[in-house]
Amino acid sequence: MPAWDLLLTNAHIATMQGNHGAYGVIENGALGVADGKITWVGPESELPSRDDCKTLSLNGRWVTPALIDCHTHLVFGGNRAEEFEQRLTGISYQEIAKGGGGILSTVTATRNTSPDELIKSAAVRLQSLAREGVATVEIKSGYGLDVENELKMLRVARSLSGSSGISIRTSFLGAHAVPPEYEGNADSYIEMLCKEALPQAVGEGLVDAVDAYCENIAFSTDQIARLFEAAQSLNLPVKLHADQLSDSGGAKLAASFQALSADHLEYTSKEGVTALADAGSVAVLLPGAFLTLGETHLPPVDIFREKNVPIAIATDCNPGTSPVCSLRAAMNLATALFRLTPEECLAGVTREAARALGLLHDRGTLETGKRADVAVWNIGHPRELSYWLGLNELAQLFVGGHEVLRR
Ligand code: DI6
Ligand code: FE
């Protein structure tokens, strides 16, 4: 007889297993948890007899995998509401960046903010994600741009996990912009990242993956290739901000390093998509940045579908191009702006987001053996999770079988 710590009954379950029909639905289902893992999931009528255990009837509510935000810059000092107003008068993001504003103004603010203050402001944004059912959040560095401050950001990101119950994955984004100390000398900056910043951050256990910004206002493919070689020699997976503002060969570069994901991709060519398909990399789409920048060039969604490139969706929460602290809003935007289906959106913040973090073996779908990260919703069908904008129907959130939130 199975012994469970927790049994959820009287639920409709969207398992999000890719090969189990739309949403992987099990109507009138049940889900058993032992030692923080899912040990049984199926129709309630097939439940085996069992020892007594804590049982929770969900009264016909829907259950999905807890959501995953696989691309955020959640930790930063200050904000850029002033720049936001400037952009509304017609000054472009690139012009502001070239004038020393943009990312570099957040670098100054982040360097001048203490770890405690960074934790406080990021925790507010993290709670905003969690109360909509997000249990795993990727957080990048990239606003420190020197050894001390990149490590400070990563330590802050790691510490957010303990205080929230949310699982945090970190990405080293030292190659986000050229810092003022290295102006005109991006090659030396990359060398410093490879020889000092990255190895030290890895030595402290602060890095789960290495990311970079491949763009004509940031780093070239050659520079990033050097960083990615350093990442590989440290056994770290890579991912890339690719082809966001121009086709700069980012997707192809990412694919050549078997990247977990390539992100943004508005300007990616068919060749770039084919390379991602061959490498098994995930395309992470970021509709919040598309919206905020008033972008009109659409990512090649039809070609992703044709080539079976998995599509994830994330907030890209950052103070410049995506002040978005709602993954549910990103799902809705992805339907409106990119014409993704509600099922693609939900897969994009569960199964495919897990894949984009290299965590699909552990979460992202509801199946036995995976961590019991479960969201319970007051909805009539999972398509509603992409339909409503600004309505929060989360009832409960479980992480590793423990309830971390109830509304
Ligand atoms: N692409 C983005 O959208 C963000 N970083 C990046 O590489 C923007 C970051 C910022 O403007 O602060
Ligand atoms: Fe980003």
Measured in Å, residue 318 CA sits from the centre of ligand 1 at 7
User: According to the model, what pLDDT value does residue 125 have?
Assistant: 98
What atom of ligand 1 comes closest to residue 97's alpha carbon? 11
Shortest-distance atom of ligand 1 to CA 286: 3
pLDDT at 100: 76
Summarize pLDDT for 39-72 with one digit per residue, the tens. 999 999 999 988 788 999 999 999 999 999 999 9
Ligand nearest to the CA of 71: 2
> Ligand 1: which of 71, 73, 285 to mutate, judged by most atoms within 8 Å of the beta carbon?
73
71, 76, 94, 103: residue to mutate for ligand 1 pocket, most atoms within 8 A of CB: 103
Distance of CA 33 to the CA centre of its chain: 26
Rounded distance from Cα 378 to ligand 2 centre (Å): 31
Distance 263 CA to ligand 2 centre (A): 8
- Find the helix packing angle between 147-164 and 115-130, rounded to 10°: 50
Which ligand 1 atom lies nearest to the CA of residue 316? Answer: 3
Q: Which atom of ligand 1 is nearest to the CA of 319?
A: 12
In the chain, which stretches have pLDDT less than 50? Answer: none
Q: State in Å: Cα 238 to ligand 1 middle.
A: 17
Q: Residue 93: its pLDDT value, please?
A: 84
Condensed to tens digits (0 to 9), the pLDDT of residues 119-177 reads: 999 999 999 999 999 999 999 999 999 999 999 999 999 999 987 789 999 999 999 99
Binding-site residues, ligand 1, Cβ < 6 A: 102-103, 106, 176, 213, 241, 244, 289, 316, 318-322
Quick one: what percent of the chain has pLDDT higher than 70? 100
Measure Cα distances from 188 to 136, 184, 207, 238 in Å.
35, 9, 22, 21
- Nearest CA among 303, 299, 297 for reference residue 275: 303
The answer to whether the beta carbons of residues 364 and 68 sit under 8 Å apart is yes
- In order, the DSSP letters of 31-63 are EEEETTEEEEEEEGGGPPP----EEEEEEEEEE
